[in-house]
Amino acid sequence: MNTPPPLLTLRGITKSFPGVLANDRVDLDVHRGEVHAIVGENGAGKSTLMKILYGFHRPDAGEIELDGRPIRLDTPHAARRCGIGMVFQELVQVPALTVVENIALFLPDLPVVVDGAAIATRIRETAERYGLAVPPAAPLWQLSVGEQQRVEIVKLLLADARILILDEPTRSLAPHEVDGLFRIFANLRRDGYAIVFIAHKLREVLACADRVTVLRRGVVAGSLRRDEATAAMLVSLMFGALVAEPVPRATTTARPGTAPILQLERVSVPPLGHGPGLAEIDLAIRPHEILGVAGVAGNGQRELGDVILGLEPCRRGTKFLGGEDATRWPVAKMRAHGVVFIPEDARRLAAVGGLTVLENLALGDTRRYARAGGFAIDWDAARADLDRALERLGVSIASPDRPIDALSGGNVQRVILARELARDPRLIVAFYPMRGLDVRSAMAARALLLRARDAGAGVLLISEDLDELFALSDRLIVLFRGRIVGSGVPAPPGGRPGELALDEVGYLMTGAERRARG
Amino acid sequence: MAPLIRSLLSGSIVSGTPLLYATLAELLSERAGVVNLGLEGVMLVGAVVGFIATVHTGSATAGLVAAGLAGGLFNLVFAFVVVSRRANQLAAGLTLMFCGVGLSALMGARYVGSQIVGLPELRVPLLADLPILGPALFVHDALVYAAVPVAAGAWWVLFRTRWGLSVRAVGENPVAAFAAGKDPRMVHYQVLFLAGVLGGVAGAHLSLAVARTWAEWMTAGRGFIAVALVIFSRWHPLRALAGALLFGGAISLQLQMQALGVPLSPFLLDMLPYVLSLAVLAVWGGRARHAVPASLGRVFQGTQ
């Protein structure tokens, strides 16, 4: 009875987009000094709800009250006047501007002539109070993802936000950065700020939230206090009756003596544009082995994948594929020798939207299905291959004759996986293959990768998700600024010396010396 | 030799002045993310309107004001097409250029060959009496003297004011600017009007101070040189100053060499500014990290 009234109240929020009911009569209470986590599957309506709170989307129905008074949040500007601020998943910042300029842009009381020094002082004061270290004069593109996120939080604090909304703030952070973020949450909570954040990892939610609200298909499936919530309860709320089965981590079948399928020796790529390039990369992938590549995005992963695939010429160093010198092979020759590629965003990079599933399949291997000297395509053969691949991989899709963009993201990814894995690859280069997939689709994709490995393929798995890397990789390397800064066998918690522990990888991928931080 | 140096230096400054105003116009647009290939047309409209106003009022100052306004209004047509109607900037810009050529020829048809007094030359006391440098640097019209302060002012506005910050933010990431409570479309309109004013002034300098007459297509490609100069200056107003002087020098050199009868094709010399631009692009191309406004050529689409 003596609980204070909530700071922010949402009642009956409903929002539909063409064909989707994203939020269906959602109620939400946010209190002062509360860290409130929102969880749910992909497409459960979490982001939509947050964007309504920030005035990006207008709800079709429902009321929002702040301190008991009804408010309208029609634009981000209106939300900010009400003290609501948001840190987006794709940070809306201006990389070319400095930290001071990025923050100044946001200040409601910015004078006509900008006094950079005064703003820098305010930044330092706030940053010190809440443990948000940021370099005010540096251009934003030089900052790490964690620092950029802190800039966003400082920005909101200086703009007098009382309610901070964060959309998947931990997604690209290393474990120790996540801990730092949660300490910042704790500091802010102490001063009465309310924090609402979207999360995917239940471990993190349980580590820092005071309250957890679960969304399922646009509806609030439940809202629990921290002391009432367990991981199992949250999972069952998120997925309904279906219980997520964990993929058993099959142990490697690679034999140490086998010749590597791919070997890079002292491969370097000069930095170009915004990328760091690669410096003196030595690595080997054997059959029956998944080599995980850990690192914050933009530390040479793209270059590494491109060099292996032959998209980027290998100017310095040598590349061997199955013992043959493949340094100067073009992409087509690499593909012909059993190298396949699973892109980060299948919809964008590997699938042609207007074409059907079958046409997309044939596109991946036009030479194989070409008849009459390339003037005809053997559709029956393509269809037979697709059926065989889908059956072998245990994937079912409704109809191969549907346009591929009618499929969900998870299914497109499965079709692309099926297409690529159907070629009996010797080497699979997978870029963030599980990114953006919900838990169930990600599990299916993982199972496919493991099955391909067990069939004898070597896999290069590039990912930002350390949990995923530790679950799948037989060996791990860590990339930082285009260099391999660590490698080893991933250790289970409490692992043996000589193995790579999770938090150590976290420090390595942010370029920090673990010892230096104690 | 001394007269040659004097006229070369003086010529560089005079030829560089309209280039500088035009470059600043394009630079502001591009900082806000809009490529305006129609600048040539804006300059022509400014040149002809300034000339007509001067003929009728007898005041070059009134002509200058009219030229700036005409340039600004004409550029708003472009703003409407690319900002509100979201047309392709390159296509719209080229179309604007040809419209400007036609419109200025139509308006100026009756004035071809008319004479005006134009913008008066102002002698800076004492300094103008220095040998060689005096006449080269200190006997010019007001627009020449204003060039350096205007470039410095453009720098100050872009980098030290709230509005300039909005402009740069819109040119880099309009979604971020929108999220920060700015209206990217409004910023585009404001910038394009201002750029039009500067473009009009650039044209007026040609008709009111350099030629003191009106001739069809008298800008002769200077609007495009300005587009190249923006790249040369790597989107920085103070480097634009150096660029305009250098490219003005190239124009002046070409005129001097023609006057002296040097046996070198004038077509070859005409290429000089563009060869310079290409060389700059070739040298700085890969390294110009974050110098190019990231959202150049794209206009805010809204967030649904």
CB contacts of A104 in chain B (<8 Å) are 162, 165
For residue B303, the model assigns a pLDDT of: 46
DSSP B85: S
Q: What domains are defined for chain B?
A: 2-114+141-291 (1.10.3470)
Chain A residue closest in CA terms to B181:
A77
| Ranges under pLDDT 70 in chain A | 1-3, 19, 42, 91, 240-257, 272-275, 344-354, 364-368, 372-374, 389-400, 405-411, 436-440, 492-498, 511-518
For residue B132, the model assigns a pLDDT of: 76
d(CA B249, CA A467): 63
- Cβ-defined contact of B173 to A94 (cutoff 8 Å): yes
d(CA A411, CA A467): 23
Q: What domains are defined for chain A?
A: 8-239 (3.40.50.300), 289-509 (3.40.50.300)
d(CA A274, CA B290): 9
For the segment B106-122, the average pLDDT, to the nearest whole number, is: 90
Chain B residue closest in CA terms to A156:
B180
* Look-up of token digits 């209106």: A78
Q: What is the dihedral of CA A298, A299, A304, A310, to 10 degrees?
A: 40
Longest dimension (CA), chain A: 82
Phi, psi dihedral angles at B32 (to 5 degrees): -90, 0
CB contacts of B153 in chain A (<8 Å) are none
d(CA A84, CA A163): 5
For B179, the closest of A76, A104, A113 (CB atoms) is: A76
- Cβ-defined contact of A56 to B303 (cutoff 8 Å): yes
CB A48 within 8 A of CB A86: no
Rg (CA), chain A: 25
Residue A76 CB-density burial (10 A; 0-12 exposed, 13-18 middle, 19+ buried): buried
Chain A residue closest in CA terms to B284:
A273
Chain A residue closest in CA terms to B178:
A76
For the segment B205-210, the average pLDDT, to the nearest whole number, is: 94
| Most B CBs within 10 Å, among A94, A110, A143, to test the B interface | A94
The amino acid occupying position A139 is P
- Candidates A337, A385, A331, A336; CA nearest to A357 is A385
CB B96 within 8 A of CB B42: yes
- Cβ-defined contact of A105 to B286 (cutoff 8 Å): no
For the segment B9-29, the average pLDDT, to the nearest whole number, is: 94
For residue B54, the model assigns a pLDDT of: 95
For residue B205, the model assigns a pLDDT of: 96
pLDDT in tens, B256-298: 887 888 787 777 877 776 777 677 667 765 455 567 787 887 7
For B180, the closest of A106, A114, A139 (CB atoms) is: A106
pTM for this one?
0.73
| Pair of tokens at residue A448 | 């496919």
H/E run at residue A16: strand A8-17
- Cβ-defined contact of B179 to A95 (cutoff 8 Å): no
For residue A244, the model assigns a pLDDT of: 44
- Cβ-defined contact of B179 to A114 (cutoff 8 Å): no
**Where are the extended beta strands (E) located within A420-474?**
427-431, 458-462
For A96, the closest of B181, B290, B303 (CB atoms) is: B290
A45: left (phi over 0), alpha (psi -120 to 50) or beta: left
- Candidates B80, B73, B275; CA nearest to B194 is B73
For residue A347, the model assigns a pLDDT of: 59
B161 CB near a chain A CB, below 8 Å?
Answer: yes
- Cβ-defined contact of A92 to B175 (cutoff 8 Å): yes
d(CA A191, CA A182): 15
d(CA A240, CA A234): 10
CB A53 within 8 A of CB A215: no
CB B184 within 8 A of CB B174: yes
Residues 261-290 of B with CB under 8 A from A: 286, 289-290
Q: How far is CA A474 from CA A385, A466, A495, B15, in A?
A: 30, 13, 14, 68
- Cβ-defined contact of A95 to B169 (cutoff 8 Å): no
> Residue B127: pLDDT above 80?
yes
The amino acid occupying position A35 is V
| Pair of tokens at residue B223 | 């609007």
For residue B223, the model assigns a pLDDT of: 93
- Cβ-defined contact of B176 to A92 (cutoff 8 Å): yes
- Candidates B62, B18, B24, B23; CA nearest to B44 is B18
Give the pLDDT band of residue B250 (cuts 50, 70, 90): confident
Size of interface A-B (CB pairs under 8 A): 70
- Candidates A31, A25, A29; CA nearest to A45 is A25
